[in-house]
Amino acid sequence: MASDTLTAASARPHAENVWAAARRDLDGLPGGGLNIAHEAVDRHAADPLQRGRTALRILDRTGTAHELTYGELARRSTRFASVLDRLGVWRGDRVATLLGPDPDLYVAALGILKAGAVLAPLFNAFGPEPVRTRIELGGVSVLVTTPELYRRTVEPIREELPGLRHVLLVGPLLDGLLDAADPDRPITRTAPDDAALLHFTSGTTGAPKAALHGHGAVVAHLATARSLLGLRPDDVYWCTADPGWVTGVSYGIVAPLVVGATVVADTRPFDVRRWYRVLDEQRVTLWYTAPTALRMLMARGAEEAHRHDLSALRTIASVGEPLNGAVVEWALQTLGLPVHDTWWQTETGAIMLATAADEEVRPGAIGRPVPGIEAAVLAQGPDGRARVENGHVTVIHGSAQGELALRPGWPSLFHGYFGDPDRTVACFADGWYLTGDVVRRDRDGWYRFVARADDVIKTAGHLVGPFEVESCLMRHPAVAEAGVIGVPDPAAGALVKAFVVLRAGVEPTEELQAELLGYGRRELGAVAPRAIALVPDLPHTRSGKVMRRLLRARELGLPEGDLSTLENPS
């Protein structure tokens, strides 16, 4: 089949090949090779003018800031690699971290990479069963965690993990091992294709998958951080994603350190007032966060925002789930800046589509393909996925709606699902990586998210994306958040039902419910919700996505299952 004409080159003709530019700017290991930790820390620490600059500023639970310079981070992570040597960790062994965003996490993550081992981050709010599943799936041999998390999460399942040879508990014992470790251990010589990162994808639609990435992914991390986020060495950068997810590693650890910026991390749970204080007091210049957090700020109103000085903030970017146009408009009115959306997946390893920091924001649009990325819209079959006939797909040109596909070849594309070649093969067809996301592309080459292919609601001959309906409802001044599902109907196949959370101070009344139904009909026509329930809150994954599966289960009276495995990979 002919390839799509809307490539990165045609979308942004002025752009240099960012992959080549990033490769030129990386040092590489002395004597050859490429290692993420060297590019993130040691090359800065080798520069007398850079080694004393602040790499990390960690805010503890009291709000006190603890800083590590690039030089200190380089030394401590090298010592950690030496500790792994003493434990018999070899190149390619999987070492997991079950930690929050504190100094030990950054030291361990970079030390694992320096040792030539594979970093496998775990979300520290997991219960025992999700941790057991992932340790077994990844063949993890060493785990780094806190004494508290060990007692709560690991000890109950320790006997079920014979392959887990060692558990390192952060604190006095590990500090003693670090003090006695070799501070001059050379970084293990790794190549771009050598395994570096093992990220576990969402378990919302089945067993989690373990996506394996190589050291070469750092090329895409650097390129996209600079060209799309606009990240600079003088930035104070805050990525709010937990380090147990791919975003928290790729853009919370690797990208900002490779650029040479100062990374801010907050060890405390989300709180509206405190987040505004962090932005204010730390003079954050670039903020990479999630739409869920922005919606929670929006629901609180503008008063809290106006109590703080956010003048240092230059760019707000969004990741992890679709960004509603209402949030973009609220941010512009309240924070003085629009929100620049970005789209990528655990498997892509880096941002693939975005509204770059220097581009005008179109509310509701993701943006355009990254320079160097060829994107296409593929015709869908009855199940919502791309239609594959005799091994071939159909590329739709011009303005179109269908499954988003990407032409492989970028530096951070996953090597495959660890131990699961069949699921890996299923992600590709006819020379394309199939994302599973349904998008709409306009004549200017801008993309809008419609739905996950398996979330599409088929109602009376129409294919309805829940996100489109949710975004429409959120434009109503009374609505803070919405979740949309399909409810079985013998005539239409399914009817669209919305669950709506109102903004603070708005009373749930029958009159308002009727008003929202009418508003939906006026704005959406035939695909409007047929029923709206006003609810106090919506079920979310631990990282913020609305759990439509749970909404469906509750609506239909089905068993909800073990929800402890549900999560968002970003």
Residue tagged 């829940």 (tokens): 466
Which CATH superfamily includes the segment(s) 8-374?
ANL, N-terminal domain (3.40.50.12780)
CATH of domain 375-450: 2.30.38.10
The answer to whether the beta carbons of residues 455 and 321 sit under 8 Å apart is: no
The DSSP result for 488-535, as a single string, is EETTTEEEEEEEEEEPTT----HHHHHHHHHHHHHHHGGGS-SEEEE-
* Confidence (pTM): 0.82
What's the residue count for the chain?
Answer: 570
Question: What is the 3-class SS of 198-263, one letter each residue?
Answer: EEECCCCCCCCCEEEEECCHHHHHHHHHHHCCCCCCCCEEEECCCCCCHHHHHHHHHHHHHHCCEE
For the chain, domain boundaries? 8-374, 375-450, 456-565
Please tell me what DSSP assigns to residue 159: G
Residue-level pLDDT, tens digit, the chain, 570 residues:
333 333 333 344 344 577 888 999 999 998 899 999 999 999 999 999 999 999 999 999 888 999 999 999 999 999 999 999 999 999 999 999 999 999 999 999 999 999 999 999 998 888 888 888 899 999 999 999 999 999 999 999 999 999 999 999 999 989 999 999 999 999 999 999 999 999 998 654 457 899 999 999 999 999 999 999 999 999 999 999 999 889 999 999 999 999 999 999 999 988 899 999 999 999 999 999 988 889 889 888 889 999 999 999 999 999 988 888 889 999 999 999 999 999 999 999 999 999 999 999 999 999 999 988 999 999 988 777 899 999 999 999 999 999 999 999 999 999 999 999 999 999 999 999 999 999 999 999 999 998 777 666 767 556 677 877 888 898 899 999 998 888 887 766 678 899 999 998 899 999 999 999 999 888 877 678 999 999 999 988 765 678 887 888 888 776 654 333 333 333
Q: How far apart are the first and last CA of the chain?
A: 33
CATH of domain 456-565: 3.30.300.30
Residue 178, Cα to own-chain centre: how many angstroms? 31
